[in-house]
Amino acid sequence: MTDTTSEIDFNSMLDALHQAIEKNDTSTALQTLQQADHDETAKLIDRLSVVDRQTLFGLLSPEQGAEVLEHVYYFQGADIIEELPAQVAAPFVAKLDSDDRVDLMNELDEEDSQAILEELDDDIAHETRRFMAYPEGTAGAIMYSEFVSFRADMTVEAILNDIQANREQYIEFGVQYAYVLGLEKQLLGVLPVRNLLFASHQQQATEIMIPNPTTVRAYDTVEELEAIFEEHNYLGLPVVNKDGCLIGIIDRESTTEALQEAATEDLLKFQGLMGKEELRSMPLKVRSGRRLSWLSINVVLNLISASVIAMHQDTLEAVIALAVFLPIISDMSGCSGNQAVAVSMRELSLELISPKEFRRVFVKESSVGLINGACLGLLIGGLAWLWKGNAVLGLVVGTALALNTTVAVCVGGLVPLALKACRQDPALASGPILTTVTDMCGFMLILGLASLCLPYLT
Amino acid sequence: MTDTTSEIDFNSMLDALHQAIEKNDTSTALQTLQQADHDETAKLIDRLSVVDRQTLFGLLSPEQGAEVLEHVYYFQGADIIEELPAQVAAPFVAKLDSDDRVDLMNELDEEDSQAILEELDDDIAHETRRFMAYPEGTAGAIMYSEFVSFRADMTVEAILNDIQANREQYIEFGVQYAYVLGLEKQLLGVLPVRNLLFASHQQQATEIMIPNPTTVRAYDTVEELEAIFEEHNYLGLPVVNKDGCLIGIIDRESTTEALQEAATEDLLKFQGLMGKEELRSMPLKVRSGRRLSWLSINVVLNLISASVIAMHQDTLEAVIALAVFLPIISDMSGCSGNQAVAVSMRELSLELISPKEFRRVFVKESSVGLINGACLGLLIGGLAWLWKGNAVLGLVVGTALALNTTVAVCVGGLVPLALKACRQDPALASGPILTTVTDMCGFMLILGLASLCLPYLT
């Protein structure tokens, strides 16, 4: 997408699609969409206006629309669906695979998703509601209900006949495993399809299945699933309810994807984009409002730390050079603390530390904090001395930075553990908590020390 | 790992392992390691001292050691291998799967990896060197050479016999596809193992294979692979050289994992932990040194922006209240700009924008910047007015924050594009560039405006 040829291609595709939509020309619109690969489809949809998207989906059949929805990112699909009236949107939603449908519905506003659920067929609506009830990051949220199962009393021959008869549907499911169920739908075993290669036609399903398979529950976390996939060479995992009945399948890929998504979200949260994700194709009001809601929290935190400076105005007035060092102390301590935050977050996510191991983290971080604080303090304190030719000023600046770096590194290392222990999300809250603490403490240290040494500074 | 029982279990495992190592008791050590699941093994290795790890690997056979290395994170494995002399380490490395071996070797220092390569058998060393030559993020770096291939003239019967004969080895490979090769090893087709289910014994491999399969080249990027996997339901992709010969296999899972790893790395880079990753089990000197190398860049950037304050000392001395607002301007603009950085990074990674679309980003960001700048400026300016009862002070502070927010949002949106266009990593450099620009610009604005309005401020 970076070289000029493909950019020209893309622009001509966008033009063609745009014109087809204006002329209500379904076949050209479809043809253009079929030419585009997934990335291009996502970009095409991103660049269409809201009205164009509505018209386009008016032209498409439920199957064709569902195919477009499956090719774009799920949050783009949610935007499209929100733009349509519920009765127009529902047929497209109905044609999606169960896991894609749940992803998309979860991204909608409560009101929109309820309206669409009411338009769906009862059985689809029921299943969708049930899957939507599972929180993000659990097996229930990523499982799908399209699987192949056989009764325990079927012979290999009967199974092979069934496979031949339903070949096309099963291939679409991407089947590697089939499931052997009892009379009450309880899961008896897993049947790797390739086992059928080595079986005689008279054998029963129960003879060639793997009995007592590893199963998971719908509320198991994605991290727990990943641990199972790491340990075993499974491609899929059956999800059972409390009665042992098969309710869905998890595959390895969607587990890894869910974890990847969580990692990307962590990055966005750190940068203050919480809640629903922003694309530049969204309306200005939405984009500006979402960003302001996060900034307003920062305003309050900033005022708290700035009040420390306000309280020490006399000292600052007497030694105006200190004002130069306030932003440096704030920024450097923030950087040092954030490094410790990152190490803690990483060790937590790798499960190399438990949220209770405060002592270990404190011991390990305080030593790094003291060393790095001493280095930075000597450097910046030395520069302050050279600049103003006042050794006491250097001492005040250097000591404040050294102590505050130590505090920042320890707080940075411990905050993610504390948040995790309180079941809060470390990615979202660690940064603001850290900077507020380090700013307040840093300003207090430099201005407090300066007040004490005031006779030598003026 | 969070409940107390499992923590006690873990500590008793650690004790048992530690004692077994002290007594050179191989069988107890092995037994303890076999009890532990992968997460526990990683944590056990994390908590052993360097000497204990060296002793442990002295006790293990090459196969046993390789199994431990495959159960821990690859960077832990690299640490262990670096702690051992090359001739002791090489047999463990030799027993790893080709992709794990390359991951581990890439994590080693140049010197250590060369020493180990010299100890390996020629054919393994040759293959490893070849795979290591591919840069991170390419197909070559994640492909593996363990695949099952059949000659084009083999019949289904011959293939089935071969499968029966090599069943155990093939199951370990986790084979879903076999590959049909011509006489010069050129790839003719892919043979999904389950196709054998539907074939007659007399058919030839070429009749039931999928001819002209999708192939990739070793220098294709992981993003390109992911695009193919998203579009098609493949589990694996063959990698061919320029002559069309099969040189390795990529699977879907390792592609997604490589992308997930890249996302986590982006997060770490944002927080100033570049280069090799840090664990708290590493020596203090290494941890402190790595963090300082990043902090030292920040010191220089901070001094540049602080020099702006130093140049305006007279103004600051006259209106000391301004000192309270310097850190607020710096922090708030940094937050606003980082939000724009995050949106750009996300749109770039989703390929919804190309690095050339400066105009689109500028138009979209400047409008958000103006709105949010106006809101924040009114708020903070109003507070300044109320606090000191001076409307001009409010005007100076508010205008400076509003303008600087607009600058920060535009710069934040554009810097990742510019870095990407210059083939630099936006995750690493966007933050420091942004904060330096916004600090300098913000300090100049507030202190410059204040100088102009000085008569009304004192």
B2 confidence band (pLDDT: 50, 70, 90): very low
- Pairwise CA distance, residues A80 & B384, whole Å: 44
Q: pLDDT value at position A351?
A: 78
B154 confidence band (pLDDT: 50, 70, 90): very high
**What ipTM score was computed for the predicted complex, to two decimals?**
0.74
B269 confidence band (pLDDT: 50, 70, 90): low
A341: closest CA among A402, A418, A264?
A418
* Contact list, A361 vs chain B (CB under 8 Å): 280
* Contact list, B368 vs chain A (CB under 8 Å): 284, 287-288, 291
B262 confidence band (pLDDT: 50, 70, 90): confident
Q: Which of B273, B279, B347 has its CB closest to that of A280?
A: B347
The sign of the CA dihedral B107, B111, B113, B116 is negative
Q: pLDDT value at position A2?
A: 43
The residue with greater pLDDT, A407 or B284, is: A407
Q: pLDDT value at position B353?
A: 87
- Pairwise CA distance, residues A249 & A140, whole Å: 9
Q: What is the dihedral of CA A227, A229, A233, A238, to 10 degrees?
A: 130
- Pairwise CA distance, residues A135 & A141, whole Å: 6
B284-457 is a CATH 1.10.357.20 domain: yes
Mean pLDDT across chain B, nearest whole number? 87
* Contact list, A193 vs chain B (CB under 8 Å): 194, 197
Q: Which fold has domain B149-267?
A: CBS-domain (3.10.580)
Mean pLDDT across chain A, nearest whole number? 87
Q: pLDDT value at position B252?
A: 81
The ranges of chain A with pLDDT < 50 are: 1-3, 275
- Pairwise CA distance, residues B148 & A342, whole Å: 42
Q: pLDDT value at position A174?
A: 59
B447: closest CA among B325, B277, B364, B331?
B325
Locate B310 and state its tokens: 């130093």
Percent pLDDT > 70 in chain B is 94
Q: What is the mean pLDDT of residues B378-394?
A: 95
The sign of the CA dihedral A221, A224, A229, A232 is negative
> Is the pLDDT reported for residue B1 higher than 70?
no
- CATH 3.10.580.10 in chain A is located at 149-267
Query: B93 CA to chain A: closest CA distance, Å?
Result: 20
Phi-psi region for residue A181, left (φ > 0), alpha (ψ -120 to 50) or beta? beta
CA-nearest residue to B351 within chain A is A39
Asked if B323 and A326 come within 8 Å (Cβ–Cβ), the reply is: yes
Burial class (CB in 10 A: 0-12, 13-18, 19+), B146: middle
Choose from A422-436, B194-208, B272-286, B391-405 the range with maximum mean pLDDT: B391-405
Mutation target vs B (from A44, A159, A335, A351; most B CBs, 10 A cutoff) = A335
* Contact list, B345 vs chain A (CB under 8 Å): 267
Q: DSSP secondary structure string, A412-426?
A: HHHHHHHHHHTT--H
Q: Which of A260, A273, A323 has its CB closest to that of B326?
A: A323
Mutation target vs B (from A295, A313, A380; most B CBs, 10 A cutoff) = A295
Q: pLDDT value at position B267?
A: 67
> Beta strands of B64-148 (E only): which ranges?
none
Q: pLDDT value at position A352?
A: 84
Asked if B324 and A347 come within 8 Å (Cβ–Cβ), the reply is: no
Asked if A295 and B332 come within 8 Å (Cβ–Cβ), the reply is: yes
A78: closest CA among A27, A132, A23?
A132
- Pairwise CA distance, residues A234 & A247, whole Å: 18
- CATH 1.10.357.20 in chain A is located at 284-457
- Return the minimum-mean-pLDDT range out of A108-112, B18-22, B420-424: B420-424
- Three-state secondary-structure class, residue B186: strand
- Pairwise CA distance, residues B64 & B49, whole Å: 20
- Three-state secondary-structure class, residue B275: coil
- Stated length of chain B: 458
Give the count of beta carbons closer than 10 Å to the beta carbon of residue A106.
17
Q: What are the angstrom distances between the C-alpha of B181 and each of A67, B144, B169?
A: 35, 17, 20
- Pairwise CA distance, residues A379 & A223, whole Å: 44
Q: pLDDT value at position A66?
A: 93
Residue given tokens 């070949």 in the structure block: A167
Amino acid residing at B274: M
Q: Which of B328, B335, B376 has its CB closest to that of A272?
A: B335
Query: A189 CA to chain B: closest CA distance, Å?
Result: 19
Q: pLDDT value at position A15?
A: 92
* Contact list, A353 vs chain B (CB under 8 Å): 280
Residue given tokens 């500590």 in the structure block: B11
Q: pLDDT value at position A164?
A: 74
Give the count of beta carbons closer than 10 Å to the beta carbon of residue A314.
12
Q: pLDDT value at position A327?
A: 92
Asked if A284 and B164 come within 8 Å (Cβ–Cβ), the reply is: no
State the pairing for strand pair B149-151/B187-192: unpaired
Q: pLDDT value at position A375?
A: 95
Q: pLDDT value at position B175?
A: 64
| A60-68 own/partner pairs: CB under 8 Å, 24+ apart | A60/A26, A60/A29, A60/A30, A60/A92, A62/A91, A62/A92, A62/A94, A62/A95, A63/A95, A64/A30, A65/A91, A65/A92, A65/A95, A66/A92, A66/A93, A66/A95, A66/A96, A68/A33, A68/A41
Q: Which of B2, B43, B272 has its CB closest to that of A339?
A: B272
Pick the CATH number of B4-133 from 1.25.60.10, 3.40.50.2300, 1.10.150.120, 1.10.3720.10: 1.25.60.10
- Pairwise CA distance, residues A156 & A208, whole Å: 9
Query: B133 CA to chain A: closest CA distance, Å?
Result: 25
